[in-house]
Structure 1
Amino acid sequence: MSSTDLQPSKLGTKEHWDNVYSSELTNFEEIGDEGEVWFGEDSVEKMVDWALENVRPEGSPFILEVGAGNGNLLFALCEAGYDPNRILGVDYSPDAVKLAQAIAHAKATSRDADKITFAVCDFLQDDVVPLQGMIPEVRSIASWDLVLDKGTFDAIVLAEKDEGGRTPAEGYPARIGRVVKPNGFFLITSCNFTEEELKAKFANAETGLQCHSRVPWPTFSFGGHSGNVYSTVAFQKL
């Protein structure tokens, strides 16, 4: 599916996500509800399992999640043994960042989850803030051993189109390729795109990424066709 085939939706607006995370932040402060796990716990488990097999915590990788929301995926990586000082979650919604930080402090005794960094960043427009310990000359670009996306690209493709009929998502793959370091990985889970469609968008000369592997999901059949509800694909910058 082309991103131009999808119609704009409130799910592609910053206003929608600001409202969602404002409500979830209030709920967490009042009753301790951490909010929705986007794509469910299975997606978190599958992405963490892939990371443990391919980007092991013993190597102290720098990990970036684009559109981290409430941070549930990064907390799971921290629980799995990844160094929280080398983990960054960015989101363009300030209340998403506040929510993730509040949850992190509540989980402070759980492998130092409060040491994970969360920052406000419009990934399509802003440079990603560097973490301490990064090599100075690559602190702004090509810095990350593992970059994660769990539903963020899906939301971006639902943004309003410009006069040429293009969505902001058209520039997203190149931005991803810009931050992944040589030999580093990009791992994405999507509900809008098939495995082959993700390969077509992210594995090209502009990004410098090549398809590395896929994470299997249960298949379903309907009307003589079979498919998956979600697609999880890993790319490597060679």
Structure 2
Amino acid sequence: MSASDLQPSKLGTKEHWDNAYQEELENFEELGDEGEIWFGSESVDKMVDWALEHVPPSSNPSILEVGSGNGTLLFGLFDSGYNPSTLHGIDYSPGAVTLSKEIAKSRGASAITFSECNFLSDDPQTPQSIRREGQVDVWDLLLDKGTYDAIALGEKDETGHSPVVGYPTRVTRLLRPGGYFLITSCNFTEDELQSNFETEDTDLVYHSRIQHPTFTFGGKSGSSCSSVAFQKRTRTQ
């Protein structure tokens, strides 16, 4: 399936996410409920385990989550020993940013940076600890847990293209050479993700995958989501 095959949905609108995170913020302030874990806690654990193996805390990596929502994945990294000053989450919904900051305070993780940013059009704020003059390709690891899916459900332009077509090149723009991009999706298979991201325009190459529980239906096996890691080519590759 290509992004153009998906029909626009409310899940692809900023209005939906603004309303959803405003409600979750109110629930957190009233009840201490941190909100929904997109794809479930197991997907978070598996992405954290992948990071621990391939981009361990000892390397002090700079990590950016695209569409960080309530910050669950970054808090998982924090709990696993990553330096909070090198963890950064961006979201285009101001309610999500406020919610994640409030949760961070309650968890003693206020050093994690959460900021408002439209990934498709704006470069994220670069933490002082990794800032390099004039450079945006400073991130060792980019993470996505459902954001690519949501963008793919946005309104198509006049030529029928989904807004998600510009996403892969934005990833390449921000990753340092040799850096990694790890994505979990429920709308795209592993093969589709590889086809969408491993192109001449991106300089990304397939690195590895995360195994998720499988099911069999109608004689075919599959899983509810796919997780694929890519690495940006270095200048010597």
Counterpart position of 2:121: 125
Counterpart position of 1:186: 181
Counterpart position of 1:164: 159
Counterpart position of 2:130: 134
Which ranges in structure 1 are unaligned for 5 or more consecutive residues? none
Q: Secondary structure at the residue paired with 1:137?
A: coil
What TM-score, normalized by structure 2, do the two folds share? 0.97
Superposition pairs for residues 53-92 of structure 1, below 5 Å?
53-92=53-92
Counterpart position of 1:150: 145
Compute the displacement of 1:135 (Å).
4.3
Counterpart position of 1:235: 230
1: CA distance, partners of 2:27 / 2:131: 39
Counterpart position of 1:204: 199
Q: Secondary structure at the residue paired with 2:21?
A: helix
What TM-score, normalized by structure 1, do the two folds share? 0.96
1:106-126 C-alpha deviation (Å, 9 max, x unpaired): 011xxxx11000000000011
Counterpart position of 2:41: 41
Query: How many aligned positions are there?
Result: 233
**What amino acid maps onto 1:150 in structure 2?**
K
2: CA distance, partners of 1:191 / 1:138: 36
Structure 1 runs (4+) deviating above 3 angstroms are: none
2: CA distance, partners of 1:237 / 1:55: 14
Counterpart position of 2:4: 4
Compute the displacement of 1:167 (Å).
1.0
1: CA distance, partners of 2:133 / 2:203: 20
Q: 8 Å contact 2:85–2:129 — kept in the other structure?
A: no
Compute the displacement of 1:27 (Å).
0.3
1:27-86 C-alpha deviation (Å, 9 max, x unpaired): 000000000000000000000000000001001000000000000000000000000000
2: CA distance, partners of 1:213 / 1:127: 27
Q: RMSD over aligned Cα, in angstroms?
A: 0.8
Q: 8 Å contact 2:132–2:138 — kept in the other structure?
A: no
Compute the displacement of 1:138 (Å).
5.2
Q: Judge which range, 57-66 or 124-133, deviates more.
A: 124-133
Q: 8 Å contact 2:24–2:99 — kept in the other structure?
A: yes
1:75-102 C-alpha deviation (Å, 9 max, x unpaired): 0000000000001000000000000000
Q: Secondary structure at the residue paired with 2:102?
A: helix
Compute the displacement of 1:137 (Å).
2.9
Cα 1:69–1:58 change in 2 (3 A) is same
2: CA distance, partners of 1:211 / 1:181: 16
Which ranges in structure 2 are unaligned for 5 or more consecutive residues? none
